[in-house]
Amino acid sequence: MNPEGKHTVAIVDDHSLFARSLEKLINSFSDFKVVFHAKNGVELQKKIEKRSVLPQLILLDINMPVMDGFETAEWLTLNHPEIKVLALSMEDDEQTILKMLRKGVKGYLLKDIQPQILNTALKELLEKGYYHSEKVSETLLHSLTPDEEGRIIDFKENELTFIKLACSEMTYKEIADIMDLSPKTIDGYRQDLFKKLKIKNRVGLVIFALKKNLIQL
Amino acid sequence: MNPEGKHTVAIVDDHSLFARSLEKLINSFSDFKVVFHAKNGVELQKKIEKRSVLPQLILLDINMPVMDGFETAEWLTLNHPEIKVLALSMEDDEQTILKMLRKGVKGYLLKDIQPQILNTALKELLEKGYYHSEKVSETLLHSLTPDEEGRIIDFKENELTFIKLACSEMTYKEIADIMDLSPKTIDGYRQDLFKKLKIKNRVGLVIFALKKNLIQL
DNA sequence: TTATCATAGGGGGTTTTCCCTGTTTATTAG
DNA sequence: CTAATAAACAGGGAAAACCCCCTATGATAA
């Protein structure tokens, strides 16, 4: 609570237009007040370390330069677990959401929500300790049966890197060089993925990655 | 001008949070006032046809359900050319921008801009009749040399069919069967396209087709 | 008529992809 | 300490993709 008796919120977002608008919106709620902004994780770290009183909530964007939402969330969870972090993002793909939840955020909100929902989200975050967009819950539910048989597909970091590189014009040999792995290992990744995803060739992989938003054009 | 002496603006965007925030921002400018909202093109059509006084400017999002920004812009240009349309979007790829400009929008603004820029944009749109983000101008400049020699690439019917089939998991042999052509002919198509488009492999073709909207997922 | 151009097809080759099988190595559970 | 598991790596081979240069045919234009 700040002197006005409102709960304190900080915003971390490099989209200035969005961040300012968001601030206006939040300040119009009766129970909340934005106490400061940061353009990225590094700026947030500095501001937090200067302050004696920390915000109760942090609205955290994922796509930022310098230090992105994932790193920032991780740092916050380790160093200031008492601050509840609400991830605010355009991405609704399961990988991103899961990754963010693993970093310890208490809520995940898509940016295309009703203003009223934001108010609800902030309140529930304080009361219940968590809040997720409906779409996020749906996505998570769906992501638990991505394989049409209920098997969970959870990519390892290396696999994810491979998929992203495979969606370029590189040959597997070049990919192996970049990832500093043997071409045979890369071939193993390819083979595993083809089986797991039931695809026939590299084009299938590209299409899969695009559908799941693992890459974007 | 509305009764308060402000220029009138309408917002068409299905992102409610963004739209509301945008409204607050615009209403904070001294010369502009938001007169109504619409979630998509159809809603806009209805609202426009009910009104005797039309807005001077329309902020138009591209990604919307039901009737998207392209269709909406086309309809506005044909039916209400006096309204200046400012496309507001996250997309900064040349195809999207060009497509939108061809539909007759007077400005194209990326969503990640400074609040002050929006004010400038609205003013210039009324005074000069157009306004584009810096990034958009850059993109357009670049897009005027699609082939790096000014040649415009346009595809023959067969080539287009081939491209679309090549963006699936079929082998070239299977594609040849479907198109009832010799595998060698198909290979010729492939070779020509790789040269023309300066791509290295089939993944490059898929990416090209997606960027140019020749196929969709 | 001849030239030219677009379209379809081909010979023959290298590289990459795709697929199966199996081994080494490091980590972890019992 | 040993068993189990996962990750990295490998041999070998068939299929597909990739690439260059070449021919036949038909339409069209000079």
pLDDT tens track for A5-28: 788 999 999 888 888 888 988 898
Establish whether the CB of B190 is closer than 7 Å to any nucleic acid atom in strand D.
yes
Q: Report the alpha-carbon distance of residue B74 to residue B15 in Å, rounded.
A: 21
Q: Is B215 on the interface with A (CB under 8 A)?
A: no
* Residues of A (140-179) whose Cβ lies below 8 Å from B: 166-169, 171
Please tell me the distance in Å from A199's CA to the nearest CA on chain B: 8
Q: What is the CATH number of the domain that holds B82?
A: 3.40.50.2300
Burial class (CB in 10 A: 0-12, 13-18, 19+), B2: middle
Residues B134, B89 within the same domain = yes
Sign of the four-CA dihedral A216, B155, B197, B188: positive
Contact A111 B207 (CB under 8 A): no
Distance B89 CA to C17 C1' (A): 39
Does the distance separating the beta carbons of B206 and A18 come in below 8 Å?
Answer: no
Query: Under an 8 A CB cutoff, do A201 and B169 touch?
Result: yes
3-state DSSP assignment of residue A87: strand
Specify whether the CB–CB gap between B85 and B58 falls below 8 A.
yes
B205 shares a domain with B98: no
Confidence check: pLDDT of B1 > 80: no
pLDDT in tens, B126-175: 887 778 777 666 655 444 334 333 334 457 778 888 998 999 999 999 99
Pick A7 or B97 by higher pLDDT: A7
pLDDT of res. A94: 66
Mean pLDDT of B180-199: 91
Do residue B82 and residue B135 come from a single domain? yes
B112 touches chain A (CB under 8 A): yes
Same domain, residue pair B102 and B195: no
Specify if B148 maps to a domain.
Answer: no
Q: Quick one: pLDDT at residue A188?
A: 92
A184 touches strand D (CB under 7 A): yes
* Residues A102, A41 within the same domain: yes
Q: What's the total number of domains in chain A?
A: 2
Residue A97 sits in the same domain as residue A204 = no
Structure tokens at A178: 């970049």
CATH of the domain at B177: 1.10.10.10
Do B104 and B46 lie in a common domain?
Answer: yes
* Among B16, B24, B206, beta carbon nearest to A24: B24
Same domain assignment for residues A170 and A106: no
- Would you state the pLDDT for residue B64? 83
B189 lies in some domain: yes
Nearest by CB to B207, from A117, A204, A217: name it: A217
Q: How far apart are CA B165 and CA A193, in angstroms?
A: 23
- The amino acid at residue A217 is L
* Residues B128 and B54 both lie in one domain: yes
Q: Do B22 and B80 share a domain, yes or no? A: yes
Same domain, A12 and A78: yes
Q: Which residue of A has its CA nearest to B198?
A: A169
Locate the chain A residue with the closest alpha carbon to B113: A17
Mean pLDDT of chain B: 82
B21, B168, B204 member nearest A22 (Cβ)? B21
Q: Which range marks the domain in which residue B162 is found? A: 157-211
Q: Is the pLDDT score of A1 beyond 70?
A: no
The answer on B169 and B90 residing in a single domain is no
Last residue of a domain, one of B91, B112, B143: B143
